[in-house]
Structure 1
Amino acid sequence: MEYGGTVPTDAPDPSIASEARLRSIPFPVFELRPQPAVTRTPITGFAEGSGPAGLTDMSVHLSYALWRVPEDHGDPRNERELDERTRRSIEEEPPWGRPPWLIEQARLHLYPMLWEATRTAWHASPDAERHSLSQQLVDHTNHVLRNSFREQLGIPAGPTRTTEWRVKPTAIAEASLEVDGEHRSAIHIDTDPFVYAVVFRVDEHTVSTNVFPRDSLPLLNLSLTTLV
Protein backbone atom coordinates (compact mmCIF):
# COMPACT_ATOMS: atom_id res chain seq x y z
CA MET A 1 0.00 0.00 0.00
CA GLU A 2 1.32 3.46 -0.91
CA TYR A 3 0.43 6.82 0.54
CA GLY A 4 0.96 10.17 -1.12
CA GLY A 5 1.05 13.56 0.58
CA THR A 6 -0.28 12.72 4.04
CA VAL A 7 -0.45 9.55 6.11
CA PRO A 8 -4.06 8.57 6.88
CA THR A 9 -4.92 8.29 10.57
CA ASP A 10 -5.84 4.63 10.03
CA ALA A 11 -2.60 3.73 8.22
CA PRO A 12 -1.09 0.47 9.53
CA ASP A 13 1.82 0.66 11.94
CA PRO A 14 4.97 -0.28 9.95
CA SER A 15 6.74 -1.41 13.12
CA ILE A 16 4.50 -4.52 13.16
CA ALA A 17 5.86 -5.70 9.79
CA SER A 18 9.37 -4.64 10.79
CA GLU A 19 9.24 -6.70 13.98
CA ALA A 20 7.80 -9.69 12.13
CA ARG A 21 10.64 -9.57 9.61
CA LEU A 22 13.17 -9.25 12.42
CA ARG A 23 11.79 -12.36 14.09
CA SER A 24 12.16 -14.30 10.83
CA ILE A 25 15.89 -13.58 10.33
CA PRO A 26 17.71 -16.94 9.88
CA PHE A 27 20.82 -16.01 11.90
CA PRO A 28 21.34 -14.70 15.46
CA VAL A 29 20.76 -10.95 15.86
CA PHE A 30 22.27 -9.03 18.78
CA GLU A 31 21.15 -5.93 20.62
CA LEU A 32 22.35 -3.84 23.53
CA ARG A 33 21.33 -5.54 26.73
CA PRO A 34 18.00 -3.97 27.78
CA GLN A 35 18.82 -1.16 30.21
CA PRO A 36 17.21 2.04 31.51
CA ALA A 37 19.24 4.48 29.39
CA VAL A 38 18.15 3.18 25.97
CA THR A 39 14.98 2.22 24.12
CA ARG A 40 15.24 0.33 20.85
CA THR A 41 13.45 2.25 18.11
CA PRO A 42 10.40 0.51 16.62
CA ILE A 43 11.66 0.36 13.01
CA THR A 44 14.58 -1.98 12.30
CA GLY A 45 16.90 -1.41 9.34
CA PHE A 46 17.55 -4.24 6.90
CA ALA A 47 19.92 -4.60 3.94
CA GLU A 48 20.50 -7.59 1.70
CA GLY A 49 22.18 -8.61 -1.52
CA SER A 50 21.58 -11.49 -3.90
CA GLY A 51 23.16 -13.19 -6.89
CA PRO A 52 22.47 -16.05 -9.29
CA ALA A 53 22.70 -18.56 -6.41
CA GLY A 54 20.34 -16.61 -4.16
CA LEU A 55 20.96 -14.53 -1.05
CA THR A 56 24.60 -13.46 -0.69
CA ASP A 57 24.47 -11.20 2.37
CA MET A 58 22.09 -9.64 4.87
CA SER A 59 22.44 -7.22 7.76
CA VAL A 60 20.17 -5.99 10.54
CA HIS A 61 20.65 -2.47 11.96
CA LEU A 62 19.24 -1.40 15.33
CA SER A 63 18.97 2.17 16.60
CA TYR A 64 18.15 3.40 20.10
CA ALA A 65 16.76 6.49 21.78
CA LEU A 66 19.07 7.63 24.59
CA TRP A 67 17.75 8.81 27.97
CA ARG A 68 20.05 11.11 29.93
CA VAL A 69 17.64 10.91 32.88
CA PRO A 70 16.52 7.27 32.59
CA GLU A 71 14.25 7.33 35.63
CA ASP A 72 12.03 10.04 34.10
CA HIS A 73 11.54 10.04 30.33
CA GLY A 74 9.50 13.24 30.66
CA ASP A 75 12.41 15.21 32.10
CA PRO A 76 13.34 18.01 29.65
CA ARG A 77 17.03 17.21 30.21
CA ASN A 78 16.50 14.13 28.05
CA GLU A 79 15.80 16.25 24.98
CA ARG A 80 18.42 17.29 22.45
CA GLU A 81 18.81 20.84 21.23
CA LEU A 82 16.45 21.58 18.35
CA ASP A 83 15.64 24.66 16.33
CA GLU A 84 12.09 25.93 16.67
CA ARG A 85 11.02 24.80 13.20
CA THR A 86 12.13 21.21 13.82
CA ARG A 87 10.46 21.13 17.23
CA ARG A 88 7.16 22.35 15.78
CA SER A 89 7.27 19.71 13.05
CA ILE A 90 7.58 17.05 15.75
CA GLU A 91 5.16 18.33 18.35
CA GLU A 92 2.40 20.15 16.45
CA GLU A 93 -0.47 18.15 15.01
CA PRO A 94 -1.42 18.95 11.40
CA PRO A 95 -5.10 19.72 10.70
CA TRP A 96 -5.55 16.29 9.08
CA GLY A 97 -4.13 14.43 12.09
CA ARG A 98 -1.61 11.63 12.35
CA PRO A 99 -1.93 7.97 13.36
CA PRO A 100 -0.85 7.31 16.98
CA TRP A 101 2.18 5.25 15.92
CA LEU A 102 3.48 8.15 13.79
CA ILE A 103 3.07 10.58 16.70
CA GLU A 104 5.13 8.28 18.93
CA GLN A 105 7.81 7.71 16.31
CA ALA A 106 8.07 11.46 15.63
CA ARG A 107 8.51 12.19 19.34
CA LEU A 108 11.58 9.96 19.46
CA HIS A 109 13.33 12.61 17.36
CA LEU A 110 13.22 14.90 20.40
CA TYR A 111 15.89 12.74 22.00
CA PRO A 112 19.50 11.81 21.19
CA MET A 113 19.70 8.79 18.93
CA LEU A 114 22.23 5.97 18.83
CA TRP A 115 21.75 5.64 15.09
CA GLU A 116 22.39 2.15 13.65
CA ALA A 117 24.49 1.48 16.73
CA THR A 118 24.31 -2.31 16.62
CA ARG A 119 24.60 -4.21 13.35
CA THR A 120 24.56 -7.95 12.79
CA ALA A 121 25.87 -8.92 9.35
CA TRP A 122 25.72 -12.33 7.63
CA HIS A 123 27.62 -13.35 4.47
CA ALA A 124 26.97 -16.61 2.64
CA SER A 125 30.58 -16.84 1.43
CA PRO A 126 32.67 -14.39 3.45
CA ASP A 127 35.65 -12.85 1.69
CA ALA A 128 38.75 -13.09 3.88
CA GLU A 129 39.66 -9.44 3.33
CA ARG A 130 36.43 -7.54 2.63
CA HIS A 131 34.48 -9.31 5.38
CA SER A 132 37.20 -9.61 8.00
CA LEU A 133 36.39 -8.47 11.53
CA SER A 134 38.61 -5.43 11.21
CA GLN A 135 37.23 -4.32 7.84
CA GLN A 136 33.62 -4.69 8.91
CA LEU A 137 34.32 -2.71 12.07
CA VAL A 138 36.04 0.06 10.10
CA ASP A 139 33.20 0.15 7.55
CA HIS A 140 30.48 0.42 10.21
CA THR A 141 32.42 3.06 12.15
CA ASN A 142 32.94 5.22 9.07
CA HIS A 143 29.27 4.80 8.11
CA VAL A 144 28.19 6.21 11.48
CA LEU A 145 30.78 8.99 11.41
CA ARG A 146 29.80 10.05 7.89
CA ASN A 147 26.08 10.17 8.67
CA SER A 148 26.01 11.37 12.29
CA PHE A 149 29.10 13.55 12.69
CA ARG A 150 29.42 15.41 9.40
CA GLU A 151 29.44 18.85 11.00
CA GLN A 152 31.98 17.92 13.68
CA LEU A 153 34.25 16.33 11.05
CA GLY A 154 33.91 19.19 8.59
CA ILE A 155 32.50 16.94 5.86
CA PRO A 156 30.82 19.17 3.23
CA ALA A 157 27.26 18.56 2.13
CA GLY A 158 26.76 16.33 -0.87
CA PRO A 159 29.25 13.93 -2.48
CA THR A 160 32.82 14.36 -1.35
CA ARG A 161 36.18 12.66 -1.86
CA THR A 162 37.70 13.82 1.42
CA THR A 163 38.92 10.87 3.47
CA GLU A 164 40.99 12.41 6.24
CA TRP A 165 38.18 11.88 8.76
CA ARG A 166 37.93 8.11 8.26
CA VAL A 167 39.18 5.65 10.84
CA LYS A 168 41.69 3.08 9.60
CA PRO A 169 42.46 -0.53 10.50
CA THR A 170 45.60 0.65 12.30
CA ALA A 171 43.30 2.05 15.02
CA ILE A 172 42.11 -1.44 15.97
CA ALA A 173 43.19 -3.20 19.17
CA GLU A 174 42.31 -6.39 21.00
CA ALA A 175 39.36 -6.24 23.41
CA SER A 176 36.65 -8.33 25.05
CA LEU A 177 32.89 -7.92 25.02
CA GLU A 178 30.20 -9.36 27.28
CA VAL A 179 27.66 -11.28 25.20
CA ASP A 180 24.78 -13.15 26.82
CA GLY A 181 26.59 -12.94 30.15
CA GLU A 182 29.89 -14.36 28.88
CA HIS A 183 33.06 -12.53 27.84
CA ARG A 184 33.87 -12.98 24.17
CA SER A 185 37.07 -12.18 22.31
CA ALA A 186 36.66 -8.96 20.33
CA ILE A 187 38.51 -6.07 18.72
CA HIS A 188 37.71 -2.39 19.17
CA ILE A 189 38.46 1.18 18.09
CA ASP A 190 38.95 3.33 21.17
CA THR A 191 40.93 6.22 19.71
CA ASP A 192 38.30 8.18 17.77
CA PRO A 193 37.12 11.38 19.53
CA PHE A 194 33.48 10.94 18.50
CA VAL A 195 32.69 7.20 18.67
CA TYR A 196 33.68 3.95 20.33
CA ALA A 197 33.37 0.79 18.20
CA VAL A 198 33.66 -2.92 18.97
CA VAL A 199 33.05 -6.15 17.02
CA PHE A 200 32.96 -9.88 17.77
CA ARG A 201 32.57 -12.90 15.55
CA VAL A 202 29.34 -14.83 16.08
CA ASP A 203 30.21 -17.70 13.72
CA GLU A 204 31.90 -18.32 10.37
CA HIS A 205 29.27 -16.29 8.49
CA THR A 206 28.08 -13.74 11.06
CA VAL A 207 29.60 -10.79 12.93
CA SER A 208 28.20 -8.17 15.30
CA THR A 209 29.61 -4.65 14.92
CA ASN A 210 28.67 -1.91 17.39
CA VAL A 211 29.35 1.83 17.21
CA PHE A 212 28.35 4.25 19.99
CA PRO A 213 28.74 8.03 20.35
CA ARG A 214 31.51 8.60 22.84
CA ASP A 215 29.46 11.04 24.90
CA SER A 216 26.84 8.33 25.49
CA LEU A 217 29.29 5.84 27.02
CA PRO A 218 28.91 6.98 30.68
CA LEU A 219 25.21 6.09 30.47
CA LEU A 220 25.58 2.70 28.77
CA ASN A 221 26.22 -0.85 29.82
CA LEU A 222 28.23 -2.04 26.82
CA SER A 223 27.08 -5.62 26.79
CA LEU A 224 25.03 -7.46 24.19
CA THR A 225 22.34 -10.06 24.28
CA THR A 226 20.75 -12.25 21.62
CA LEU A 227 17.57 -10.61 20.36
CA VAL A 228 16.45 -13.37 17.99
Structure 2
Amino acid sequence: MPVPVLGLVPQRHLEDWDAFGINAGTHNGVLDSCEVSISYTLWRNPANLDDPANFAELDEEQRADLELEVPWERPQWLFERVRRMRYRTLWECVKTHWGAEPHEYDSVEARLVSHVNHILENRFRATRVRGKLPGDLDSPVDERHVEHGIALLVNGYEREGARIDTDPDVYGVGVVLDNGSSVTAVLPRDELRFIELAFATRRL
Protein backbone atom coordinates (compact mmCIF):
# COMPACT_ATOMS: atom_id res chain seq x y z
CA MET A 1 0.00 0.00 0.00
CA PRO A 2 1.65 3.25 -1.10
CA VAL A 3 -0.28 5.33 1.48
CA PRO A 4 -0.92 4.86 5.21
CA VAL A 5 -3.66 2.39 6.16
CA LEU A 6 -6.20 3.63 8.68
CA GLY A 7 -8.27 1.79 11.24
CA LEU A 8 -10.43 2.76 14.16
CA VAL A 9 -8.58 4.19 17.14
CA PRO A 10 -7.72 1.60 19.85
CA GLN A 11 -10.64 1.20 22.23
CA ARG A 12 -11.83 -1.22 24.88
CA HIS A 13 -14.78 -2.72 23.01
CA LEU A 14 -12.81 -3.59 19.86
CA GLU A 15 -10.03 -6.12 19.35
CA ASP A 16 -7.79 -5.69 16.32
CA TRP A 17 -6.29 -9.11 15.63
CA ASP A 18 -4.76 -8.50 12.19
CA ALA A 19 -7.89 -9.52 10.30
CA PHE A 20 -7.38 -7.56 7.11
CA GLY A 21 -7.98 -8.10 3.42
CA ILE A 22 -6.25 -6.61 0.40
CA ASN A 23 -7.49 -5.95 -3.12
CA ALA A 24 -5.15 -4.49 -5.72
CA GLY A 25 -5.30 -3.55 -9.38
CA THR A 26 -2.53 -3.11 -11.93
CA HIS A 27 -2.17 -1.48 -15.32
CA ASN A 28 0.62 -2.63 -17.61
CA GLY A 29 2.16 -4.44 -14.66
CA VAL A 30 2.20 -1.36 -12.42
CA LEU A 31 0.11 -1.03 -9.26
CA ASP A 32 -2.57 1.57 -9.91
CA SER A 33 -5.14 0.91 -7.17
CA CYS A 34 -5.29 -0.77 -3.78
CA GLU A 35 -7.80 -1.28 -0.98
CA VAL A 36 -7.16 -2.61 2.52
CA SER A 37 -10.09 -3.65 4.72
CA ILE A 38 -9.92 -4.28 8.46
CA SER A 39 -12.24 -6.40 10.60
CA TYR A 40 -12.52 -6.36 14.39
CA THR A 41 -13.93 -8.56 17.11
CA LEU A 42 -16.48 -6.55 19.08
CA TRP A 43 -16.78 -7.14 22.82
CA ARG A 44 -20.02 -5.78 24.20
CA ASN A 45 -18.71 -6.81 27.61
CA PRO A 46 -14.89 -6.76 27.50
CA ALA A 47 -14.69 -7.49 31.23
CA ASN A 48 -16.13 -10.98 30.68
CA LEU A 49 -15.43 -12.50 27.27
CA ASP A 50 -17.71 -15.47 28.06
CA ASP A 51 -20.70 -13.19 28.51
CA PRO A 52 -23.41 -14.31 26.04
CA ALA A 53 -23.69 -10.68 24.95
CA ASN A 54 -20.34 -11.13 23.18
CA PHE A 55 -21.45 -14.06 21.05
CA ALA A 56 -22.61 -13.70 17.47
CA GLU A 57 -26.19 -14.49 16.54
CA LEU A 58 -25.80 -17.76 14.66
CA ASP A 59 -28.42 -20.05 13.18
CA GLU A 60 -28.46 -23.80 13.81
CA GLU A 61 -26.56 -24.61 10.63
CA GLN A 62 -23.80 -22.14 11.46
CA ARG A 63 -23.47 -23.48 15.00
CA ALA A 64 -23.29 -27.04 13.70
CA ASP A 65 -20.54 -26.06 11.26
CA LEU A 66 -18.49 -24.54 14.08
CA GLU A 67 -18.88 -27.65 16.21
CA LEU A 68 -17.90 -29.99 13.37
CA GLU A 69 -14.88 -32.14 14.15
CA VAL A 70 -12.47 -32.50 11.23
CA PRO A 71 -10.24 -35.60 10.81
CA TRP A 72 -7.06 -33.55 10.64
CA GLU A 73 -5.29 -31.08 12.87
CA ARG A 74 -6.11 -27.49 12.06
CA PRO A 75 -3.21 -25.05 11.87
CA GLN A 76 -3.26 -22.50 14.66
CA TRP A 77 -4.28 -19.60 12.41
CA LEU A 78 -7.31 -21.56 11.13
CA PHE A 79 -8.26 -22.68 14.63
CA GLU A 80 -8.19 -19.02 15.71
CA ARG A 81 -10.36 -17.96 12.77
CA VAL A 82 -12.96 -20.60 13.58
CA ARG A 83 -12.95 -19.60 17.25
CA ARG A 84 -13.45 -15.96 16.35
CA MET A 85 -16.54 -16.78 14.30
CA ARG A 86 -18.39 -17.44 17.56
CA TYR A 87 -18.08 -13.79 18.56
CA ARG A 88 -19.49 -10.56 17.22
CA THR A 89 -17.45 -9.30 14.29
CA LEU A 90 -17.29 -5.94 12.56
CA TRP A 91 -16.48 -7.47 9.19
CA GLU A 92 -14.48 -5.30 6.75
CA CYS A 93 -15.82 -2.29 8.61
CA VAL A 94 -12.94 0.06 7.74
CA LYS A 95 -11.48 0.38 4.25
CA THR A 96 -8.56 2.50 3.08
CA HIS A 97 -8.72 3.18 -0.66
CA TRP A 98 -5.98 4.43 -2.97
CA GLY A 99 -5.79 5.12 -6.70
CA ALA A 100 -2.83 6.33 -8.73
CA GLU A 101 -5.07 8.40 -10.99
CA PRO A 102 -8.39 10.01 -10.01
CA HIS A 103 -11.50 8.39 -11.47
CA GLU A 104 -15.17 9.13 -10.94
CA TYR A 105 -15.69 5.84 -9.09
CA ASP A 106 -12.80 6.71 -6.74
CA SER A 107 -14.60 9.66 -5.15
CA VAL A 108 -15.28 9.35 -1.43
CA GLU A 109 -19.01 9.43 -2.21
CA ALA A 110 -18.75 6.49 -4.62
CA ARG A 111 -16.49 4.57 -2.25
CA LEU A 112 -18.83 5.10 0.69
CA VAL A 113 -21.89 3.99 -1.31
CA SER A 114 -20.04 0.88 -2.50
CA HIS A 115 -18.87 0.03 1.02
CA VAL A 116 -22.35 0.41 2.55
CA ASN A 117 -23.97 -1.78 -0.09
CA HIS A 118 -21.16 -4.34 0.22
CA ILE A 119 -21.81 -4.71 3.96
CA LEU A 120 -25.57 -4.93 3.47
CA GLU A 121 -25.23 -7.60 0.78
CA ASN A 122 -22.87 -9.74 2.83
CA ARG A 123 -23.78 -9.19 6.49
CA PHE A 124 -27.52 -8.56 6.21
CA ARG A 125 -28.26 -11.05 3.46
CA ALA A 126 -31.07 -12.81 5.32
CA THR A 127 -33.16 -9.66 5.63
CA ARG A 128 -31.96 -7.40 2.82
CA VAL A 129 -31.25 -9.63 -0.19
CA ARG A 130 -33.95 -11.22 -2.34
CA GLY A 131 -33.57 -14.26 -4.57
CA LYS A 132 -30.79 -16.75 -5.16
CA LEU A 133 -27.11 -15.79 -5.23
CA PRO A 134 -26.03 -13.15 -5.92
CA GLY A 135 -29.57 -11.86 -5.32
CA ASP A 136 -30.96 -8.33 -5.33
CA LEU A 137 -30.28 -5.93 -2.49
CA ASP A 138 -33.44 -4.39 -1.10
CA SER A 139 -33.20 -0.58 -0.89
CA PRO A 140 -29.51 -0.07 -1.75
CA VAL A 141 -28.01 3.34 -1.06
CA ASP A 142 -26.68 5.67 -3.75
CA GLU A 143 -24.91 9.01 -3.85
CA ARG A 144 -28.15 10.87 -3.21
CA HIS A 145 -27.98 9.50 0.34
CA VAL A 146 -24.55 11.04 1.03
CA GLU A 147 -24.45 13.96 3.46
CA HIS A 148 -21.43 16.27 3.47
CA GLY A 149 -19.81 18.53 6.06
CA ILE A 150 -19.47 15.85 8.75
CA ALA A 151 -16.62 16.31 11.25
CA LEU A 152 -14.42 13.22 11.62
CA LEU A 153 -11.25 12.70 13.65
CA VAL A 154 -8.22 11.36 11.77
CA ASN A 155 -5.03 10.93 13.82
CA GLY A 156 -6.39 13.37 16.37
CA TYR A 157 -7.24 16.12 13.86
CA GLU A 158 -10.71 17.08 12.74
CA ARG A 159 -11.38 16.71 9.01
CA GLU A 160 -14.48 17.32 6.94
CA GLY A 161 -16.06 14.09 5.81
CA ALA A 162 -19.27 12.56 4.51
CA ARG A 163 -21.81 10.12 5.87
CA ILE A 164 -24.76 7.93 4.97
CA ASP A 165 -27.25 8.03 7.83
CA THR A 166 -30.37 6.87 5.99
CA ASP A 167 -30.10 3.08 6.14
CA PRO A 168 -31.95 1.27 8.96
CA ASP A 169 -29.22 -1.34 9.46
CA VAL A 170 -25.88 0.46 9.07
CA TYR A 171 -24.22 3.85 9.48
CA GLY A 172 -21.40 4.86 7.13
CA VAL A 173 -18.81 7.63 7.01
CA GLY A 174 -15.93 8.54 4.74
CA VAL A 175 -13.23 11.15 4.42
CA VAL A 176 -10.73 12.15 1.74
CA LEU A 177 -7.12 11.73 2.83
CA ASP A 178 -3.85 12.67 1.13
CA ASN A 179 -2.10 11.34 -1.97
CA GLY A 180 -5.21 10.06 -3.71
CA SER A 181 -6.53 8.04 -0.78
CA SER A 182 -9.68 7.95 1.32
CA VAL A 183 -11.08 5.94 4.21
CA THR A 184 -14.61 4.67 4.75
CA ALA A 185 -16.23 2.92 7.70
CA VAL A 186 -19.56 1.09 7.82
CA LEU A 187 -20.91 -0.05 11.18
CA PRO A 188 -24.06 -1.88 12.30
CA ARG A 189 -26.42 0.50 14.06
CA ASP A 190 -26.93 -2.01 16.87
CA GLU A 191 -23.24 -1.70 17.79
CA LEU A 192 -22.71 2.05 17.44
CA ARG A 193 -23.10 2.67 21.18
CA PHE A 194 -19.98 0.57 21.81
CA ILE A 195 -17.75 2.24 19.21
CA GLU A 196 -15.70 5.42 19.14
CA LEU A 197 -15.85 6.52 15.52
CA ALA A 198 -12.40 8.02 15.02
CA PHE A 199 -9.52 6.93 12.79
CA ALA A 200 -5.79 6.42 13.29
CA THR A 201 -2.95 5.14 11.16
CA ARG A 202 -2.50 1.40 11.54
CA ARG A 203 0.70 -0.52 10.93
CA LEU A 204 0.45 -3.57 8.70
Whether these two folds match at TM > 0.5 is: yes
1:138 and 2:125 aligned: no
1:169 and 2:143 aligned: yes
The one-character-per-residue Cα deviations of 1:85-132 (angstroms, maximum 9, x if unpaired) are 4334324543433223322221110012111100001100011x2211
1:53, distance to aligned residue in structure 2 (A): 5.9
1:227 and 2:196 aligned: no
1:207 maps to what in 2?
182
1:58 maps to what in 2?
34
1:35 maps to what in 2?
11
Paired letter, 2:82 = A
1:111 maps to what in 2?
87
Paired letter, 1:167 = V
**Structure with the bigger percentage of strand:** 2
**Distance in 2 between the 1:27 and 1:204 partners?**
7
**Distance in 2 between the 1:130 and 1:82 partners?**
35
Is the Cα contact below 8 Å between 2:130 and 2:138 reproduced in 1?
A: no
Is the Cα contact below 8 Å between 2:121 and 2:137 reproduced in 1?
A: no
% of aligned pairs identical? Answer: 38
For residues 55-204 of structure 1, what are the structure 2 equivalents within 5 Å?
55-91=31-67, 93-127=69-103, 129-160=104-135, 162=136, 164-174=138-148, 175-204=150-179
Taking structure 1 as the reference length, what is the TM-score of the superposition?
A: 0.82
**Distance in 1 between the 2:134 and 2:163 partners?**
28
Cα distance change on mapping 1:44 and 1:208 into 2, 3 Å:
same
**Distance in 2 between the 1:100 and 1:164 partners?**
39
CA-atom RMSD, angstroms? Answer: 1.8
Q: Name which one, 1 or 2, has greater alpha-carbon Rg.
A: 1
Is the Cα contact below 8 Å between 1:135 and 1:169 reproduced in 2?
A: yes
Unpaired segments ≥5 residues, structure 2:
none
Is the Cα contact below 8 Å between 2:146 and 2:163 reproduced in 1?
A: yes
Unpaired segments ≥5 residues, structure 1:
1-24
